A and B are shown apart, each in its own frame.
Chain A
């Protein structure tokens, strides 16, 4: 067995328990997506060995880390699991370099060797000049990078990231998300990203597991979830269409197609997001047509209660949400040619850099 297998439950108190079932292959990023209080941080703590599970099993690279039935519990310091904590937990009394070197000592390096290697990890995240500073002197974005460098420097077999971007302001978040995606792709082991931000999950993860009230309510690719959300939460937050494009003069070019956006002053690489219900579906070209109108074809239809989600392909891959009544009324079916329109004001545009 390779990668991470975690299938366990754990009860923290009378009101709260967590049941999780996930596995991550090396080189794969899985996002654990859920609202605040769903148990995401508890899941991280259990996998890292900071909490013991009650039933089930956690194993990594074929080694059992926690299995109450067999009375196995590997201490956190023996698990080789790197964690980037939500508020980073950089040791305040140590310099940045000492923080990064901390996990390397006794890991085949002496103190001097660890410091040297730490310097190379710091320059990899562009922070060599901060080596002698204390964490309190750094900005939020710099701390996040140090936390990542510290976790990676210990050469872990698995990387856990707990809301790695949530402590940052919006502009820093966008630029660090790009960097984070680079660092993640360079890490050879399994990666588990915990987040309550759907866009983070969609952009950074290969697979998404949705956690609500301590239970997994859905697992699958971003497409699976967008198209066939199983719960209201999934439909709400994981339903967003997300397109990457290039903005100029109030327009965004996405894969050869041009969308009109409300902001004229945005330019460069952007992410355009909008809810599936913002996509209007017509059987013929709408009159007095909004500017963002185009013809497309229905590839799939998924029904969830009184709503239906349509998977649309060319020229833009996106999801539309209509009522099931509309599906019947308009006679929509897989393969139907339809016109869709999206109001410019429904588009959320943010810089992708």
Chain B
């Protein structure tokens, strides 16, 4: 198509599309307009920010790691093993994608809270209390983040040309070697996208975390929770943290632009 032909898009689409762009850009402009640029460095250096930043980095990375450890095998089961109720299992695993996070947090509380179904015997046996602890944050964020990894990796495993695995087997490779040397490398672009998506989701997690883990500075107060608190107490801090999170999110999305959401 020539560039002249392309210019003749329907006017209605151009107008509506532009309104869409404004809709997304507007909040960021609002944020940038209110940013106290001169004090930004000192605001970001405040203890509540640094505590939350450290906690967010640690918990989001931990959630990503756990998601990879459990999510890749889970995606494998869903993609490769036929078992009764597979569709149901997939539905349950992917529910956190559409569930309000606060409901997820509440459900975790009923299951793993100190008086919860599993939480009580766990506490009796080990003295471990998950809610309102850093482990609780990791658990809650993993719960909402892992489905992104599972759905991405499962799709990749289904789309992969399995004859490569067969070829590897004829070359004497056992299942484990095939998995590590052929399957994983061949799905690695999707795996990487899944990991990034899961991490981004964990990094921005709010509802499940505050419900299950509470809002304790230095222990369970991640960056989004710190924004929430600061909006009441110190608006400038809230804006500084928000700006930090926008910057990180943009960075991640740009980094994976070629891998995941490039239009083809």
Binding site for A on B (CB under 8 A): 161, 163-164, 166-174, 177, 181-182, 185-186, 188
B contact residues around A50 at 8 Å (CB)? 166, 169-170
Binding site for B on A (CB under 8 A): 45, 48-50, 75-83, 85, 89, 91-94, 102-103, 106-107, 150-151, 154
- Closest-CB distance, A53 to chain B (whole angstroms): 16
Is the beta-carbon distance between B169 and A49 smaller than 8 angstroms?
Answer: yes
- Closest-CB distance, A125 to chain B (whole angstroms): 17
Taken together as a complex, chains A and B put the C-alpha atoms of A85 and B182 apart, in Å, by: 16
Determine which of A49, A102, A107 lies in contact with B181 in the assembled complex, contact meaning CB atoms within 8 Å: A102
A contact residues around B182 at 8 Å (CB)? 91
Determine which of B167, B169, B177, B188 lies in contact with A75 in the assembled complex, contact meaning CB atoms within 8 Å: B169
Is the beta-carbon distance between A93 and B169 smaller than 8 angstroms?
Answer: no
Is the beta-carbon distance between A102 and B170 smaller than 8 angstroms?
Answer: no
B contact residues around A85 at 8 Å (CB)? 163, 167
A contact residues around B167 at 8 Å (CB)? 83, 85, 89, 91
A contact residues around B174 at 8 Å (CB)? 75, 77
Query: Interface SS of chain B: helix, strand, loop or mixed?
Result: helix
Determine which of A81, A92, A94, A106 lies in contact with B170 in the assembled complex, contact meaning CB atoms within 8 Å: A81
Q: Which residue of A lies closest to B181 (CB)?
A: A102
- Closest-CB distance, A336 to chain B (whole angstroms): 52
Is the beta-carbon distance between B169 and A102 smaller than 8 angstroms?
Answer: no
Taken together as a complex, chains A and B put the C-alpha atoms of A283 and B172 apart, in Å, by: 61
Is the beta-carbon distance between B166 and A103 smaller than 8 angstroms?
Answer: no
Taken together as a complex, chains A and B put the C-alpha atoms of A102 and B168 apart, in Å, by: 8
- Closest-CB distance, B175 to chain A (whole angstroms): 8
B contact residues around A78 at 8 Å (CB)? 172
Taken together as a complex, chains A and B put the C-alpha atoms of A81 and B169 apart, in Å, by: 10
Q: Which residue of B lies closest to A80 (CB)?
A: B172
Contact sample, A vs B, 26 pairs, CB 8 Å cutoff: A50-B169, A75-B169, A77-B169, A77-B172, A77-B174, A78-B172, A79-B170, A82-B171, A83-B167, A83-B170, A85-B163, A89-B166, A91-B164, A91-B167, A91-B185, A91-B186, A92-B186, A93-B185, A93-B186, A94-B185, A102-B181, A103-B171, A103-B172, A106-B177, A150-B171, A151-B171
- Closest-CB distance, B171 to chain A (whole angstroms): 3
- Closest-CB distance, B83 to chain A (whole angstroms): 20
Is the beta-carbon distance between A91 and B168 smaller than 8 angstroms?
Answer: yes
Q: Which residue of B lies closest to A153 (CB)?
A: B171
Is the beta-carbon distance between B172 and A89 smaller than 8 angstroms?
Answer: no
Taken together as a complex, chains A and B put the C-alpha atoms of A45 and B166 apart, in Å, by: 9
Is the beta-carbon distance between A93 and B188 smaller than 8 angstroms?
Answer: yes
Q: Given A85-B163, A91-B164, A102-B168, A77 and B185 touching (CB < 8 A)?
A: no
- Closest-CB distance, B183 to chain A (whole angstroms): 11
- Closest-CB distance, A36 to chain B (whole angstroms): 17
Taken together as a complex, chains A and B put the C-alpha atoms of A93 and B169 apart, in Å, by: 17
Taken together as a complex, chains A and B put the C-alpha atoms of A102 and B182 apart, in Å, by: 10
A contact residues around B164 at 8 Å (CB)? 89, 91
- Closest-CB distance, A6 to chain B (whole angstroms): 16
Give the top 6 A-B pairs by smallest Cβ distance, nearest first. A103-B171, A76-B169, A89-B167, A93-B185, A50-B166, A83-B170
- Closest-CB distance, B164 to chain A (whole angstroms): 5
A contact residues around B185 at 8 Å (CB)? 91, 93-94
Taken together as a complex, chains A and B put the C-alpha atoms of A94 and B185 apart, in Å, by: 9
Taken together as a complex, chains A and B put the C-alpha atoms of A150 and B171 apart, in Å, by: 8
- Closest-CB distance, B184 to chain A (whole angstroms): 10
Is the beta-carbon distance between A76 and B166 smaller than 8 angstroms?
Answer: yes
- Closest-CB distance, A155 to chain B (whole angstroms): 9
Is the beta-carbon distance between A82 and B170 smaller than 8 angstroms?
Answer: yes
Taken together as a complex, chains A and B put the C-alpha atoms of A189 and B170 apart, in Å, by: 16
- Closest-CB distance, B214 to chain A (whole angstroms): 45
The CB with the most chain B CB atoms within 10 A, among A76, A81, A106, is that of A76
